[in-house]
Chain A
Amino acid sequence: MHQTHHATELHQTSHSHHQEHHVIAVGTYFKIYLVLMALLALTVGAYYMDMGSHGINLVVAMTIAVVKAVLIVLFFMHVYYSAPLTWVTAAGSLLWVGLLLVFLLADYISRGFLSILGK
């Protein structure tokens, strides 16, 4: 039976929520900011470097962008100090973008695999 009486236990939330009040030092933020600046310079530098094919340039640029994004997400958005649910949410959203892109591009790339017109 469901009983109702004065409950002193906490509601069902993640127990690590108190970590979200973790105060990050100004120095840490500044260091991350400097790293981001360096990565930005690297992004532009990579553009000017000839790496052979078009595709490699894209991969390098995107990798650097991902690193920047991860730093912002982990430290500026406090995910490093947050409950697992938070980083699952963030990672999940990236996974979903990936799903859309992979399945979508799979169609376009595989057109013309067979020599049947229109397929």
Chain B
Amino acid sequence: MSASAHARHDDGPPADYLSDTSVASWLLTTDHKRVGILYMFSVTAFFLVGGFIAALMRLELMTPKGDVMATPDAYNRMFTMHGVIMIFFFLVPSIPGVLGNFLLPLMIGARDLAFPKINLLSWYVYMIGGVMGVYILVFGGVDTGWTFYTPFSTMYSNTMVVTAAVAVFITGFSSILTGLNFIVTVHTMRAPGMTWFRLPLFVWSHYATALIMVLGTPVLAISVILIALERFFHFGVFDPKLGGDPILFQHLFWFYSHPAVYIMVLPGFAVISEIIPCFARRPIFGYRFVAFASVAIAIFGFLVWGHHMFVSGQSMYAGAVFSILSFLVAIPSAIKVFNWTATLYKGSLRFDTPMLYAMGFMGLFTIGGLTGLMLASLAIDVHVHDTYFVVAHFHYIMVGGTTMAYLGGIHFWWPKMTGRTYSELWGKLSALLVFVGFNLTFFPQFLLGYLGMPRRYFEYRPEFQVLNVMSTAGASILAVGFLLPLTYLLLSLRKPRDAGPNPWGATGLEWQVESPPTTHNFHQPVLVTCEPYMYSPEEAEREYANGQHAHHA
């Protein structure tokens, strides 16, 4: 029974989740796949806004003197809004909101998430927060840095801090709702036979992400509300004159914001764990290790937040404890990298676009992670804290890691989501441009930071100019690399549906249904009887040697 026959009912139009094109059917949908598409449009829009701001910043930083921005204040608002938009409105919701929402029920054999209406609500809440964020941007922005450190944010800043605090508070609810939806879904809606250790690792990683969302986000909510109250009522919770401690804010803020970076990167791991077995045609090496490592990252990630505060005034003993724990938290991530690498061994590798992004991820995430270890050591951190070294470190993880994983995932599941394929040539070219552009942008920043250029400054010493120019040049290449997929993926929608259910020959329940799937995902109740990632490199080699197309149509 071919997939396309299923998609068409001879007594009517084809019934898949995209069929109904009315606006109401989109804005009032409870279908997890549609909510995923709604998120896709939103995160893309916010990514473009945040990226545009970054372009302005890089333009400014081409010369040692401030010339693009009228005042240093304007630059402060730029980097703050870039951070707020990219973190809260792109990185946190991107993979869970788009790919997690779309794929989680499919992967476990369910018809939808546990709470479809709450899923839609989470998107609306996110949009309200996001629109507030854009409003703030349009009306002058906030200049406190995305970290909202006190006492500047509470006592001295003249910008819309309270509005920003409320926007972040609201957006946090979107995260919490998505998180609890995912957790409950994985616990209660797995199909018969889908035991925990038959779950795709995508699901394990998203489950871990969801745990962090539920446990961490509320503390951010409190810290941000405290700022708003202090500005509004002059409560003085962080005011030294009233015996308040500004460091307390940092503690509460980073208690969420460190696990937040794991919210941003674990879904990236999720995507990579799906792509690599498929394009190496091998089962993942050490499935249980990768699964447990995801949960370990979620748990240990809550114990290391003080490494953001080594030089803020935290006690040295606490600093030492956080330093050791930060070293330990790298271990589960390293386990994952080793296992992905081992999966490649004796595999039958194909370097299609998703695989290029995954390979890029592995290298860049490793560099980001290793520099993270450097930052975790107290002595080095004293030297490079608040320099471009830190900026380069987290961009290697967030852009080289999460964003590349997001793009890789979009390219991998695009045929499933839309039923169309895209041009492999343009896909590979974009992936290469992103990789080259990214490294040219951010590697010089490691050197700049080491040499002492501080972050969040719009002027710098003339001897730093060469590296800054290299960085800006890289940013322009990176921008092209990001804009290309937007173009060719959108253009692919004009083609007829040519993807078929499984263009990559991947395992997983989502590839057993037609592309795009019907509204209720499965036509019959699902029964799972085998392990995930049942790939065979020998079989792939044989098919390749016989000149057949190695992927099933």
- Check if A and B associate: yes
Chain A residues near B (Cβ < 8 Å): 1-7, 9-13, 85, 93, 96, 99-100, 103-104, 106-108, 110-114, 116, 118-119
Known contacts: A10-B192, A12-B194. The answer to whether A118 contacts B313 by CB under 8 A is yes
Q: Cα distance A113–B320 when bound, in Å?
A: 13
Most buried by B among A4, A10, A111: A4
A78 CB to closest chain B CB, in angstroms?
17
Most buried by A among B187, B215, B315, B524: B315
Task: Judge whether B302 and A6 touch: CB under 8 Å.
Answer: no
Chain B residues near A (Cβ < 8 Å): 187-195, 215, 219, 247, 251, 255, 302-303, 305-306, 313-318, 321, 509, 512, 522-530
Most buried by B among A11, A12, A108, A116: A12
* 23 residue pairs bridging A and B, Cβ less than 8 Å apart: A2-B528, A3-B529, A4-B523, A4-B525, A4-B526, A5-B527, A10-B192, A11-B189, A11-B192, A12-B191, A85-B187, A93-B215, A96-B302, A99-B303, A100-B255, A103-B305, A104-B255, A106-B315, A106-B321, A113-B317, A114-B316, A114-B317, A118-B313
Task: Judge whether A9 and B317 touch: CB under 8 Å.
Answer: no
Count of A-B residue pairs with CB < 8 Å: 86
Closest residue of chain B to A4 (Cβ to Cβ) is B524
Known contacts: A99-B302, A103-B306. The answer to whether A13 contacts B188 by CB under 8 A is yes
Chain A contact surface mostly: loop
Most buried by A among B190, B314, B318: B318
B19 CB to closest chain A CB, in angstroms?
22
What residues on B are CB-neighbors of A112 within 8 Å? 315
Known contacts: A13-B187, A113-B317. The answer to whether A107 contacts B251 by CB under 8 A is yes
Task: Judge whether B318 and A110 touch: CB under 8 Å.
Answer: yes
Task: Judge whether B215 and A96 touch: CB under 8 Å.
Answer: yes
Closest 3 CB pairs between A and B?
A107-B318, A110-B317, A12-B190
Closest residue of chain B to A99 (Cβ to Cβ) is B302
What residues on B are CB-neighbors of A99 within 8 Å? 302-303
B297 CB to closest chain A CB, in angstroms?
15
A29 CB to closest chain B CB, in angstroms?
27
Q: Cα distance A4–B521 when bound, in Å?
A: 12
Closest residue of chain B to A1 (Cβ to Cβ) is B530
What residues on A are CB-neighbors of B191 within 8 Å? 7, 11-12
What residues on A are CB-neighbors of B255 within 8 Å? 100, 104
Most buried by B among A100, A103, A114: A103
Task: Judge whether B316 and A119 touch: CB under 8 Å.
Answer: yes
Task: Judge whether B306 and A11 touch: CB under 8 Å.
Answer: no
Q: Cα distance A16–B359 when bound, in Å?
A: 44
Task: Judge whether B530 and A111 touch: CB under 8 Å.
Answer: no
A5 CB to closest chain B CB, in angstroms?
6
Q: Cα distance A9–B192 when bound, in Å?
A: 6
Closest residue of chain A to B211 (Cβ to Cβ) is A92
A19 CB to closest chain B CB, in angstroms?
16
Task: Judge whether A116 and B188 touch: CB under 8 Å.
Answer: no
What residues on B are CB-neighbors of A116 within 8 Å? 316
B254 CB to closest chain A CB, in angstroms?
11
Q: Cα distance A19–B109 when bound, in Å?
A: 26
Most buried by B among A6, A104, A114: A104
With A85-B187, A112-B315 known, 10 other A-B pairs at CB within 8 A are A2-B527, A5-B527, A7-B527, A9-B527, A11-B189, A11-B192, A12-B195, A13-B187, A106-B317, A113-B316
Closest residue of chain A to B511 (Cβ to Cβ) is A2
Closest residue of chain A to B190 (Cβ to Cβ) is A12
Closest residue of chain B to A119 (Cβ to Cβ) is B316
Q: Cα distance A81–B470 when bound, in Å?
A: 64
What residues on A are CB-neighbors of B525 within 8 Å? 4-7
Q: Cα distance A100–B302 when bound, in Å?
A: 9
Closest residue of chain B to A116 (Cβ to Cβ) is B316
Closest residue of chain A to B522 (Cβ to Cβ) is A4
Q: Cα distance A111–B215 when bound, in Å?
A: 28
Closest residue of chain B to A93 (Cβ to Cβ) is B215
Q: Cα distance A99–B187 when bound, in Å?
A: 25
Contact partner, A5, options B302, B303, B524, Cβ 8 Å: B524
Task: Judge whether B302 and A2 touch: CB under 8 Å.
Answer: no
Task: Judge whether B190 and A103 touch: CB under 8 Å.
Answer: no
Most buried by B among A7, A10, A11: A11
Q: Cα distance A108–B194 when bound, in Å?
A: 47
Closest residue of chain A to B316 (Cβ to Cβ) is A119
Most buried by A among B188, B305, B530: B188
Contact partner, B524, options A6, A93, A108, A119, Cβ 8 Å: A6
Task: Judge whether A100 and B219 touch: CB under 8 Å.
Answer: yes
Task: Judge whether B187 and A7 touch: CB under 8 Å.
Answer: no
Closest residue of chain B to A106 (Cβ to Cβ) is B318
Q: Cα distance A47–B317 when bound, in Å?
A: 35
What residues on B are CB-neighbors of A114 within 8 Å? 316-317
Closest residue of chain A to B527 (Cβ to Cβ) is A7
A4 CB to closest chain B CB, in angstroms?
4
Contact partner, A107, options B194, B314, B528, Cβ 8 Å: B314
Q: Cα distance A106–B215 when bound, in Å?
A: 21
B459 CB to closest chain A CB, in angstroms?
29
A26 CB to closest chain B CB, in angstroms?
30
What residues on A are CB-neighbors of B194 within 8 Å? 12
What residues on A are CB-neighbors of B315 within 8 Å? 106-108, 110-113, 119
What residues on B are CB-neighbors of A1 within 8 Å? 529-530
What residues on A are CB-neighbors of B303 within 8 Å? 99, 103
Q: Cα distance A3–B215 when bound, in Å?
A: 37
Closest residue of chain A to B321 (Cβ to Cβ) is A106
B225 CB to closest chain A CB, in angstroms?
16
Q: Cα distance A110–B318 when bound, in Å?
A: 7
Q: Cα distance A96–B512 when bound, in Å?
A: 40
Task: Judge whether B313 and A7 touch: CB under 8 Å.
Answer: no
What residues on A are CB-neighbors of B522 within 8 Å? 4
Known contacts: A104-B251, A107-B318, A119-B316. The answer to whether A12 contacts B192 by CB under 8 A is yes
What residues on A are CB-neighbors of B509 within 8 Å? 2
What residues on A are CB-neighbors of B187 within 8 Å? 13, 85
Known contacts: A2-B512, A2-B530, A100-B255. The answer to whether A7 contacts B314 by CB under 8 A is no
